[in-house]
Amino acid sequence: MTTSEPRVVLYTRPSCHLCDTARDVVEAVTADTGTGWREVDISHGPESGALTAKYGEYVPVVEVDGVQQGFWRIDPARLARLLA
Protein backbone atom coordinates (compact mmCIF):
# COMPACT_ATOMS: atom_id res chain seq x y z
CA MET A 1 0.00 0.00 0.00
CA THR A 2 1.41 3.38 -1.04
CA THR A 3 0.75 6.49 1.00
CA SER A 4 1.08 9.81 -0.74
CA GLU A 5 0.88 13.38 0.44
CA PRO A 6 -2.42 15.16 -0.14
CA ARG A 7 -2.49 17.28 -3.29
CA VAL A 8 -3.87 20.33 -1.48
CA VAL A 9 -2.26 22.04 1.51
CA LEU A 10 -4.00 24.91 3.26
CA TYR A 11 -1.77 27.11 5.43
CA THR A 12 -3.67 28.88 8.21
CA ARG A 13 -3.29 30.44 11.64
CA PRO A 14 -5.66 30.74 14.62
CA SER A 15 -8.23 33.54 14.87
CA CYS A 16 -8.17 34.14 11.11
CA HIS A 17 -11.65 34.66 9.65
CA LEU A 18 -10.34 34.34 6.09
CA CYS A 19 -8.82 31.00 7.07
CA ASP A 20 -12.22 29.77 8.24
CA THR A 21 -13.75 30.70 4.88
CA ALA A 22 -10.84 29.17 2.94
CA ARG A 23 -11.16 25.94 4.93
CA ASP A 24 -14.83 25.70 3.95
CA VAL A 25 -13.93 26.20 0.28
CA VAL A 26 -11.12 23.63 0.34
CA GLU A 27 -13.29 21.10 2.19
CA ALA A 28 -16.12 21.47 -0.33
CA VAL A 29 -13.99 21.40 -3.48
CA THR A 30 -11.82 18.49 -2.37
CA ALA A 31 -14.91 16.52 -1.34
CA ASP A 32 -16.40 17.11 -4.80
CA THR A 33 -13.18 16.08 -6.58
CA GLY A 34 -12.18 13.28 -4.23
CA THR A 35 -8.84 14.96 -3.58
CA GLY A 36 -6.86 14.67 -0.37
CA TRP A 37 -5.94 17.79 1.56
CA ARG A 38 -4.38 18.81 4.84
CA GLU A 39 -4.25 21.96 6.92
CA VAL A 40 -1.04 23.37 8.38
CA ASP A 41 -1.16 25.92 11.20
CA ILE A 42 1.84 28.18 10.53
CA SER A 43 2.01 29.28 14.16
CA HIS A 44 2.69 25.82 15.66
CA GLY A 45 5.11 23.00 15.09
CA PRO A 46 8.75 22.61 14.21
CA GLU A 47 8.51 24.63 10.99
CA SER A 48 6.43 27.49 12.42
CA GLY A 49 9.22 30.06 12.24
CA ALA A 50 10.01 29.33 8.60
CA LEU A 51 6.34 29.13 7.62
CA THR A 52 5.50 32.40 9.39
CA ALA A 53 8.44 34.07 7.64
CA LYS A 54 7.33 32.65 4.28
CA TYR A 55 3.59 33.31 4.48
CA GLY A 56 3.27 36.00 7.16
CA GLU A 57 0.19 38.09 6.51
CA TYR A 58 -0.75 36.18 3.34
CA VAL A 59 -2.61 33.36 5.10
CA PRO A 60 -4.68 31.58 4.21
CA VAL A 61 -2.49 30.20 1.45
CA VAL A 62 -3.43 27.21 -0.69
CA GLU A 63 -0.94 25.01 -2.53
CA VAL A 64 -1.80 22.38 -5.11
CA ASP A 65 0.87 19.80 -5.87
CA GLY A 66 3.44 21.92 -4.03
CA VAL A 67 2.74 25.12 -5.99
CA GLN A 68 1.13 28.14 -4.36
CA GLN A 69 -2.17 28.79 -6.13
CA GLY A 70 -3.84 31.44 -4.02
CA PHE A 71 -3.96 33.42 -0.83
CA TRP A 72 -6.45 35.42 1.27
CA ARG A 73 -9.58 34.50 -0.69
CA ILE A 74 -9.63 31.09 -2.34
CA ASP A 75 -11.65 30.88 -5.56
CA PRO A 76 -13.57 27.59 -5.54
CA ALA A 77 -13.95 27.45 -9.33
CA ARG A 78 -10.22 27.96 -9.86
CA LEU A 79 -9.35 25.34 -7.25
CA ALA A 80 -11.74 22.87 -8.90
CA ARG A 81 -10.11 23.50 -12.30
CA LEU A 82 -6.66 22.89 -10.82
CA LEU A 83 -7.81 19.58 -9.39
CA ALA A 84 -9.62 18.36 -12.53
Task: Write the pLDDT tens digit of every residue in 30-41.
Answer: 999 999 999 999
Short-list 5, 3, 4, CA closest to 63:
5
Q: What is the pTM of this model?
A: 0.92
Q: Which sign does the torsion angle of CA 28, 30, 34, 38 carry?
A: negative
| pLDDT, tens digit (0-9, with 9 covering 90-100), for 48-83 | 999 999 998 999 999 999 999 999 999 999 999 999
